Structure 1
Amino acid sequence: MTTLTQLSTWQQLQQQRTSYDKFSLRASFTADPGRAARMSIKAAQLKLDFSKNLLTDDTLTTLCQLAREAGLEPLRDAMFNGEAINNTEGRAVLHTALRNSQRSHIETETGSNVVPEISATLAKMKQFVADVHQGVLTGYSNKAFTDIIAIGIGGSFLGPKVATEALRPYAQAGIKLHFVANVDGTSLAEKLKRIDPETTLVVMSSKSFSTQETITNTQSARDHFIANGVPIEAIGDHFVAISSNVAAAVEFGMKAENVFPMWDWVGGRYSLWSAIGLPIALAVGFDHFEQLLRGAEAMDKHFCEAPLEQNMPAIMGLLSLWYSNFFGTQSQVLLSYDHYLRGLPAYVQQLDMESNGKSVDKEGNPIEYHTGPVIWGGEGTNGQHAYHQLLHQGTGIIPADFILPLQSHNPIAGHHNMLAANCFGQTQALMQGKTLAEARAELAGQGLAEEELERLARHKVMPGNRPSNTLLMDKLTPFTLGSLIALYEHRTFVQGALWGINSFDQWGVELGKALGNGVLAEIEAKTQPNQLDESTNLLVAALRQGHI
């Protein structure tokens, strides 16, 4: 079997990499007035400007050849066609089917057509949301719901939370949404302080109905509701579930008709498009949830049909590989210049790092190259007064994605122009930097002694040549949010496909869960803790004592 590093295009990229020691982005823009227009892509109501990357046309061509040689396109098609590309779990990967509106037949590896069940679930969600919003579904006292508590963990929590934050301008009047994920009792307690159980609906998400954090939070919420006047026989009026374990949900007290399905062919971090997105639909209305699906579907269509050289997810994934494997970068930063998108870096962090944080390939062989960069970031312009210093003058290269809607939902005075100017100015500063001569000239008019001028000038030098992408949209809408999230899903897929890893399992997460259960048993045992390693035994003993 030929490994990635044995491909001829990999060898070509290694040779091309040496020329970048003298490559200048600033000089490239000066010499090539058409660079920005040529290195831009429009798709699914997004625009990607990738011209501020350490990239020539020749290298872009070679990267696309690498993708073809590594079999990216057939693997992409296999995913969309329902083949079991999640080979360690023997499952199809069909989150894209959840937002499909064109195909009437998409089969899993077992030959089952998933489209009718998806359509039925969407119809059920639509009716449920309408009934809540119109007061048809109420609590035990026939009062309309005013608050929703969404309980989940991982993708069952983060996707809906980020989406509802982003779509705050589309919020349904009269409904307040609260998320609980952490098993820390404080998280749940603070939410319960804000609501009246009589007018609150709880939506819990757990495929097995046994996820430790989720079931614990849900049970404690039920206890609180009962203690505050909700009759135990009316729990089904206040609690619904997204789960494949209908029996456990009914035993808990929920109504079977209020259990929404989850499927094995949808991973948690790809699940907001499914019934896991019910809190999104409740928060912003089902019509806006449908627009979220349509935006993602538009990006799916682009990913499947556009040639790699003009394929937005492919280009972004290839650039990530280029920097990780040929420049030795260890992380990538996402900078959202929109307050409503402040949660996106955390969402992509889970999406990318849980998918591609792997050290063996799909056959279980050790990988000899770097995978899975650390994803981090935050909200502009806050970061400019914090970690942007590292981006501009740190010793390492950190590729950056800048994300900006061109229109604001809240156009106060000149705020948005100032925000955009900071966004564009940061990409320009990262690209061109500041030379020693420019630093000297900047200080020359301050009347400094020559020695002091020279000393300070060196501190003001910025190397430039720091790569960035700029992602633009006209406005942050349900459609453009769906497109944006799907873009990062597919970018993650491209990286994993090229690295030859399975991006759709998460055994590291599973190990932590299993060991945590063992530790919990020790914590709750009556005997002296001695079943674990010495350090953990001492930590358990300290917890039992309640002091250090």
Structure 2
Amino acid sequence: MSPKETTAWVDLQSHAYYMSQSHISTLFDESPNRFAQFGFTQDNLLLDLSKQRITDETLRLLIDLAKERGLSTWIEALFNGEHINDSEDRPALHTALRTPKGVKLEVDGVEIIEEVHQNLESMEAIVTKIHSGQWRGFTGHSINTVVNIGVGGSDLGPLMACKALAEHAPESARNLNVHFVSSMDGSQLADLLSHLNPARTLFVISSKSFTTIDTLANANTAKEWLKQASDDASEAILVSRHFIGVSASPDKALKWGIPKANQLAFWDWTGGRYSMWSTIGLPIALKLGMKGFREILAGAHAMDTHFRETPLEQNLPVLIAMVGIWNINFLNINAHAILPYDGRLSHLPAYLEQLEMESNGKSVTRKGEATTYNTCPILWGEVGTNAQHAFYQLLHQGTESVMCDFIVAAKRYHDTDNSELKHQHQLNLANCLAQSRILALGDTVIKDAESAPVYKRYKGNQPCTTLLLDELTPHTFGQIIAMYEHKVFVQSVIWDINPFDQWGVELGKKVATTLLDALTPDASIEAFDASTQGLLQHISIRNK
């Protein structure tokens, strides 16, 4: 049954007709205790939904919709390893990657949790060897630089985590530099290699299939760089001392040259955008140590437990997902800004862009029918204070309705005597709270605002969510990312789409492969459209 045929959907449409005429500022006037009504907590997180255009009735109907769509049953199917990725006939078990040791979960005849922890132990052995200086390059010098070569999920998650949590690095990792390379054009790698010592650099090739063109192109360039730096070392020695492969395709990694001893494995049920919890997280463990990495896993598992066991009415991932459904499908808001007020979370918007748009950017249901309703909105974002001087003009006075997520830590610099740093954090908090307040309430918060000229007026009524964490730690970081993962899953259930495949991405890869031959001299280009033919001819002329 289509979600539009449920009783709750029909009721929400009627409810939305009246709510669309409401202003958030009026809702606050009518209910001064909105924060108590729409503030929800889980451990060290506070989710404030009071600046959304909702009432108790809205939430009740949204929870009714979740129940009619069988959300609780779907949650159990996710955690139990059922094949909910139906187009690829496999489970989606990223939650198993952060499940504590000793828990039993058998999937397709395999004890999954036991294998997960065996992989973690293999990763820990590598981390210990590098941190202790025992991993040595072709000249016998210890490794002091790691370059992660990946793309998409094999890059965005580890890059984000390393940036966000760098201050939590242990002493053993302080002198280890970790870099990330993902661009296919080689510009990132070429610039990086010009500054590195080949004898002390280790490359981590992260690729689920070990066939990703972008990743292997960079890996081959790195291998050639090492060859040129070492006249007498064989390729086998160079690869064994300077490359680690992280893949679900060990045979392909071996064929490329990476010995079994240098390989870390994960599973085909680990989606790329859900993979940083697996051995894809090796750069995170190298940056934070295994203790820090395990704290991230523990934070994510705490959110998993909350998601699985908490009633829908108090469940953070469910609430943030259903409010998103309300905005998208009933208030017709199809733009979503991610606004972290913390420079450490500068890569979070890009990470969530992939997580949400690659997962739920679908227009076909699980039954193969075209959807008759909107699904994933367009996501974008930036660190809040930078964004204030960029696209906030559109948020405040533009013609687009935009839902906004504000993310900020209550505590920072509390363990320092630097009063200026403490003051900076207060400035940051003040800006975060002020912006969400004005976006939601408009210039009703300003005395005598109605007397200002029209071009200085702020209409407000942009729905805002605030996620306030006590402080940014590996544990709270894990909670946040897991919360957004589960939000995506909840919305996929409501929309009846599969969030774990990405056939649109696969098509792009295939078409790119067919164009490689067309870029060689004297290649036939007649099979392509007129635009592509013209571009190929222009490229050919410019390269003669």
Aligned-partner Cα distance in 2 for 1:4–1:360:
13
User: Does the residue aligned with 2:338 lie in a helix, a strand or coil?
Assistant: strand
User: Does the residue aligned with 1:524 lie in a helix, a strand or coil?
Assistant: coil
What is the aligned partner in structure 1 of residue 475 from structure 2?
Answer: 479
Aligned-partner Cα distance in 2 for 1:284–1:437:
45
Aligned-partner Cα distance in 1 for 2:488–2:258:
37
What is the aligned partner in structure 1 of residue 151 from structure 2?
Answer: 153
Deviations 1:403-425 (A, max 9, x none): 00112258615100000000000
Question: Which structure 2 residues correspond to residues 249-328 of structure 1 after superposition, within 5 A?
Answer: 249-328=253-332
- Structure 1 position 466, deviation (Å): 1.4
User: Does the residue aligned with 1:285 lie in a helix, a strand or coil?
Assistant: helix
- Structure 1 position 107, deviation (Å): 2.6
Counterpart check, 1:384 vs 2:393: no
Matched AA of 1:475: E
Deviates more, 1:201-210 or 1:225-234: 225-234
> Does the 8 Å contact 1:337/1:379 carry over to 2?
yes
Deviations 1:142-189 (A, max 9, x none): 211110000011101111111111111123211111111111121210
> Does the 8 Å contact 1:237/1:254 carry over to 2?
no
> Does the 8 Å contact 2:450/2:457 carry over to 1?
no
Matched AA of 1:174: N
> Does the 8 Å contact 1:53/1:467 carry over to 2?
yes
Deviations 1:55-74 (A, max 9, x none): 00011011001000011110
Aligned-partner Cα distance in 2 for 1:526–1:212:
23
Gaps of 5+ in 2: none
> Does the 8 Å contact 1:104/1:115 carry over to 2?
yes
What is the aligned partner in structure 1 of residue 67 from structure 2?
Answer: 68
Structure 1 residues 251 and 114: CA distance shift in structure 2, 3 A? same
Matched AA of 2:112: V
- Structure 1 position 512, deviation (Å): 0.2
Counterpart check, 1:396 vs 2:425: no
What is the aligned partner in structure 2 of residue 225 from structure 1?
Answer: 226
What is the aligned partner in structure 1 of residue 197 from structure 2?
Answer: 196
What is the aligned partner in structure 1 of residue 47 from structure 2?
Answer: 48
Structure 1 residues 261 and 440: CA distance shift in structure 2, 3 A? closer
> Does the 8 Å contact 1:436/1:458 carry over to 2?
no
Deviations 1:442-478 (A, max 9, x none): 65xxxxxxxxxxxxx1112222221101011111111
Question: Which structure 2 residues correspond to residues 522-533 of structure 1 after superposition, within 5 A?
Answer: 522-524=518-520, 526-533=522-529
What is the aligned partner in structure 2 of residue 177 from structure 1?
Answer: 178
What is the aligned partner in structure 2 of residue 447 from structure 1?
Answer: none
Deviations 1:310-359 (A, max 9, x none): 11000111011111111111110010100000110000000000000101
- Structure 1 position 104, deviation (Å): 2.5
- Structure 1 position 537, deviation (Å): 1.6
> Does the 8 Å contact 2:102/2:114 carry over to 1?
no
What is the aligned partner in structure 2 of residue 22 from structure 1?
Answer: 21
Aligned-partner Cα distance in 2 for 1:95–1:293:
11
> Does the 8 Å contact 1:84/1:91 carry over to 2?
yes
Aligned-partner Cα distance in 2 for 1:94–1:55:
33
Deviations 1:200-228 (A, max 9, x none): 11000112221101111101100001101
Structure 1 residues 477 and 413: CA distance shift in structure 2, 3 A? closer
- Structure 1 position 103, deviation (Å): 5.4
Aligned-partner Cα distance in 1 for 2:347–2:99:
26
What is the aligned partner in structure 1 of residue 6 from structure 2?
Answer: 7
Q: How many percent of aligned residue pairs carry the same amino acid?
A: 39
Aligned-partner Cα distance in 1 for 2:67–2:446:
44
- Structure 1 position 194, deviation (Å): 2.1
User: Does the residue aligned with 1:88 lie in a helix, a strand or coil?
Assistant: coil
Deviations 1:209-268 (A, max 9, x none): 211011111011000011012722322111010013323323333221111112111100
- Structure 1 position 396, deviation (Å): 2.5
What is the aligned partner in structure 2 of residue 546 from structure 1?
Answer: 542
User: Does the residue aligned with 1:204 lie in a helix, a strand or coil?
Assistant: strand
- Structure 1 position 112, deviation (Å): 1.9
Aligned-partner Cα distance in 1 for 2:444–2:292:
49
Counterpart check, 1:38 vs 2:41: no
Structure 1 residues 87 and 233: CA distance shift in structure 2, 3 A? closer
Matched AA of 2:511: L
Counterpart check, 1:421 vs 2:430: yes
Deviations 1:474-515 (A, max 9, x none): 111111111111011011111111000000000000000000
Deviates more, 1:349-358 or 1:141-150: 141-150
Structure 1 residues 462 and 176: CA distance shift in structure 2, 3 A? same
Matched AA of 2:67: R
Structure 1 residues 147 and 321: CA distance shift in structure 2, 3 A? same
- Structure 1 position 380, deviation (Å): 1.5
Counterpart check, 1:248 vs 2:217: no
Aligned-partner Cα distance in 2 for 1:191–1:504:
33
Q: TM-score, normalised by structure 1?
A: 0.94
Structure 1 residues 293 and 63: CA distance shift in structure 2, 3 A? same
Equivalent residue in structure 2 for 1:506, among 497, 502, 509: 502
Matched AA of 1:431: A
> Does the 8 Å contact 2:25/2:444 carry over to 1?
no
Aligned-partner Cα distance in 1 for 2:494–2:442:
32
Equivalent residue in structure 2 for 1:234, among 229, 233, 237: 237
Matched AA of 1:131: K
User: Does the residue aligned with 2:20 lie in a helix, a strand or coil?
Assistant: helix
> Does the 8 Å contact 1:439/1:461 carry over to 2?
no
> Does the 8 Å contact 1:44/1:483 carry over to 2?
no
Deviates more, 1:97-106 or 1:24-33: 24-33
Matched AA of 1:233: A
- Structure 1 position 525, deviation (Å): 5.2
Question: Which structure 2 residues correspond to residues 57-206 of structure 1 after superposition, within 5 A?
Answer: 57-101=56-100, 104-108=103-107, 110-171=108-169, 172-206=173-207
- Structure 1 position 296, deviation (Å): 0.4
- Structure 1 position 384, deviation (Å): 1.0
Aligned-partner Cα distance in 1 for 2:112–2:305:
19
User: Does the residue aligned with 2:67 lie in a helix, a strand or coil?
Assistant: helix
Matched AA of 1:515: V
Aligned-partner Cα distance in 2 for 1:308–1:285:
36
User: Does the residue aligned with 1:475 lie in a helix, a strand or coil?
Assistant: coil
Runs of 4+ aligned residues of structure 1 deviating over 6 Å after TM superposition are none
Matched AA of 1:434: D
> Does the 8 Å contact 1:435/1:461 carry over to 2?
no
Aligned-partner Cα distance in 1 for 2:138–2:446:
74
- Structure 1 position 535, deviation (Å): 1.3
Aligned-partner Cα distance in 1 for 2:286–2:199:
18
- Structure 1 position 547, deviation (Å): 6.5
User: Does the residue aligned with 2:244 lie in a helix, a strand or coil?
Assistant: strand
- Structure 1 position 546, deviation (Å): 1.9
Deviations 1:108-158 (A, max 9, x none): 3x2322112111000011111011000122112221111000001110111
What is the aligned partner in structure 2 of residue 448 from structure 1?
Answer: none
Q: TM-score, normalised by structure 2?
A: 0.95
> Does the 8 Å contact 1:434/1:460 carry over to 2?
no
